[in-house]
Amino acid sequence: MGIVGKLLGGTIGFALGGPLGAIAGAVFGHAFDSSTRDLQEDQIPHFSGLEASQLAFFVGAFSMLAKLTQSDGRVSPEEMDTIEAFAVRDLRLSPEAKSVALNIFRTALESPASFNDFALQFYNHFQGQPHLIEMMVDILLRVSVADGALNATEESLILGAVRIFRMSEQRYQQVRAAYAGTGDAPYQVLGCRPDDSDDVIKQRYRKLVQEYHPDKIASKGLPDEFIQLAHEKFREIQNAYETIKKERTIK
């Protein structure tokens, strides 16, 4: 069961605090209160560390996407369609989980918290998990380019998050390259250069395959609802290496 199902089913309680906690409280509060109304305080189930991370990621993603989409002052019907498509096509959310995700999105649109406020709390929670931070940057880029282009206002906010997340400019450009369609994109995906040796490329590939295996990413706090993206990231790494292997005839 994903984090959304656990919350709606009343099997866990939550206490995130901060702007993300305010969004979670507004979205999940009623369901949580009604499901625990007849329990004593010491009977109310609480989050494990993993569940807290899963909630922070889920709420953080749709809250930051809300502020990113709102960066030009309004959210157009086309932009709303993009968010719904991300929830259905990319994440493959159930109707129930999709409804929660869009509720988080709409609640964040009305929140006085800024994009950077959400990004800072996300970083404070995941600063020891650089792979999950990179997954979040990937999500922000993925949705931003879904309409065919990454506009300057959106990228300015994403770069602000990159600085908050303490991600290097070089690594950001490597993540971005997957959406840019440049000739050296396979090398960028692996974090390599075209003039690197075959051995360097092999070593980098093996390292990434270990680090970005979906099971390993999930164990660090990625919600089950986002696991499809972890599989895509894993395939992206494999496909980049296969492209380079074919180009170089690496054995």
Q: Is the pLDDT of residue 83 over 70?
A: yes
- DSSP state at residue 39: S
> How far is CA 222 from its chain centroid?
8
Distance CA 225, CA 101 (A): 10
For residue 12, the model assigns a pLDDT of 44
For residue 109, the model assigns a pLDDT of 95
For residue 181, the model assigns a pLDDT of 64
Closest CA to 244 of 171, 207, 189, 178: 189
For residue 9, the model assigns a pLDDT of 52
The pLDDT of 132-146, averaged and rounded, is: 93
pLDDT band at 14 (very low <50, low <70, confident <90, very high): low
Alpha-carbon separation of residue 127 from 56, 120, 134, 147, 234 (angstroms): 13, 10, 11, 30, 21
> Would you call 202 exposed, middle or buried from its count of C-beta atoms within 10 A (0-12, 13-18, 19+)?
middle
pLDDT band at 32 (very low <50, low <70, confident <90, very high): very low
pLDDT tens-digit map of 41-72: 343 345 677 888 888 899 999 999 999 999 88
Which residue type, as a one-letter code, is found at position 170? Q
For residue 106, the model assigns a pLDDT of 94
For residue 41, the model assigns a pLDDT of 36
What's the token pair of residue 44? 């109310």
pLDDT band at 221 (very low <50, low <70, confident <90, very high): confident
pLDDT tens-digit map of 147-176: 777 888 999 999 999 999 999 998 898 888
CB 153 within 8 A of CB 72: yes
Q: What angle do CA 165, 171, 177 make, to 5 degrees?
A: 120
Distance CA 115, CA 135 (A): 17
- Average pLDDT of the chain to the nearest whole number: 84
The pLDDT of 242-247, averaged and rounded, is: 88
For residue 55, the model assigns a pLDDT of 86
Alpha helices (runs of H) in the chain, residue ranges in sequence order: 3-8, 18-35, 49-69, 77-85, 95-110, 115-126, 130-144, 152-164, 169-180, 185-190, 198-211, 214-219, 227-248
Domain edges within the chain: 3-248
Residue 163 CB coordination number (10 Å): 13
For residue 30, the model assigns a pLDDT of 47
Q: Across 9-18, 136-145, 214-223, which has the greatest mean pLDDT?
A: 136-145
- pTM of the predicted protein model: 0.84
